[in-house]
Amino acid sequence: MPLSRPRQGRICAAAAIVLAVFGVALPGTAWADASPPTPDAKAWILIDPSDDSLLAARAPSKRLPIASTTKLMTAYLALHALKPNQMVTAPAYRPSNPAEITLGLRGGERIRVRDLLYGLLLPSASDAAITLADAVSGSVPAFVDDMNRAARKLGLTDTSYANPIGLDDPDNYSSAHDLVALASILLENRLFARIVNTPAATLSSGDHPRTVTSRDTLLGQAPWVNGVKTGHTLDAGYVLVGSGKRGSTTLISAVLGTPSEYARDQSTLELLDYGFSLYHPVQAFGRGAEVTAPKLDYRDEHLPLLAQRPLTVTVREGQRVGTRIRAPDELSGAVRKGQSLGRVTVTVDGRPAAASPLVAAHAVSAATAVDKVESVAQNPIVLIALLGIVILVVLLLTMRRRGSREVETPEPPAPEERQRSPRQRTPEERRRMHEDRMRRRRQRMEREGGPG
């Protein structure tokens, strides 16, 4: 059954393209068929937090005392309300029984929130829990109200808190299901994940330095164990919320009511080992494998893009592996060999599991002028456009010439007409013509009888 709880959305680039999706149950793959272990505990659970899959469980919703795993909620509220470097004042605190662990904080002592979180989660110090509760809510009763309010908001329906420490109380309980759900949320916080994976630390703030050691002894036994929190009281027995990572797979377990510390640790290891046996590695890309090949601008060539590092994921039977690529469809300008030009992400059932930059297989120069001309010449769309422009120019020139012929222009006079045209006479020529006319007139008069 899937866990019911709010989760942060996984960001995926809108431009990412699903390249391949293939089943991982390849021919010859031998999937584990072993039965789940049966820990010596009142209740247990094993989940894959990547998809909230339930891998093994017994009485996962049974309400039981949880001892100091109560401090997971104390840490959750402190991480959300306070800043890691914030200095807070410790109130006076007197342990209710000699078994309680404390940092020995003096009332009025100033100490950093980060150091209090280390003290809370590694040795499980009660005075660290009280100091954080007072800093977050102003008082322990108000903080307990905030704890229960947060539990309801997170959907932890089998959980109730009576104090921020985990002291035995009929109203302080949870279930295996709710504990792994809360741990899954907390492990998404980097500071929390780093703290619970730390075997020992030195607290530098406060009245004096303090060295603290984690009560989770599995951190030293198995290199792949990375948390989370132990707990022990008379009513609760031994409790452990465990976490481990192998390859790209993280699993979270919880055992409640085990009879001893040894049984607590062995039950946790058995559960986690069984869970990891369900997973097998699948290599999506080896280092240097070609993933895609964008086109080079103005050229009928492509540049291979290679995975910078190998991408291997661990998956269980029935899960599907896919790849998403973010890279340009076309490259322009000069490119260096090894230049990062994109990213490939390997997914398991649609969720990101591994990623690598995509780098250029070799260097390429920018397109030359000749490349651009040849590209244009080979482009049928461009050729059609150019042909259309040429035809349009020819039509315009033809229309202009035809219009120029239709305009009437005066013709120049013929040579004969130019000869017949009167020309301008000189004064001497006019005088001679006058004398000649007078002489002809006298002659005519003499022939007709003289003057008179």
Catalytically annotated residues: 68, 71, 124
Instruction: Show the DSSP H helices in 93-226 as ranges.
Output: 113-121, 126-137, 140-153, 176-186, 190-196, 218-221
Beta strands in 272-317 (DSSP E): 279-285, 290-292, 295-296, 305-307, 311-316
Q: How far is CA 48 from CA 53, 141, 244, in A?
A: 5, 35, 10
Is the Cβ–Cβ distance between 124 and 239 less than 8 Å?
Answer: no
Q: How many CB atoms lie within 10 A of CB 60?
A: 23
Angle between helices 113-121 and 71-81 (to 10 degrees): 170
| 61: exposed, middle or buried (Cβ count in 10 Å: 0-12, 13-18, 19+) | middle
**What single-letter DSSP state applies at residue 335?**
B
Closest CA to 339 of 322, 324, 357, 317: 357
Q: Compute the C-alpha angle 439/442/444, nearest 5°.
A: 110
Q: Report the alpha-carbon distance of residue 164 to residue 236 in Å, rounded.
A: 16
Beta strands in 303-350 (DSSP E): 305-307, 311-316, 320-326, 330-331, 340-348
- Tokens 């022939």, residue located: 447
Residue 129 corresponds to which tokens in the numbers above? Answer: 């829990």
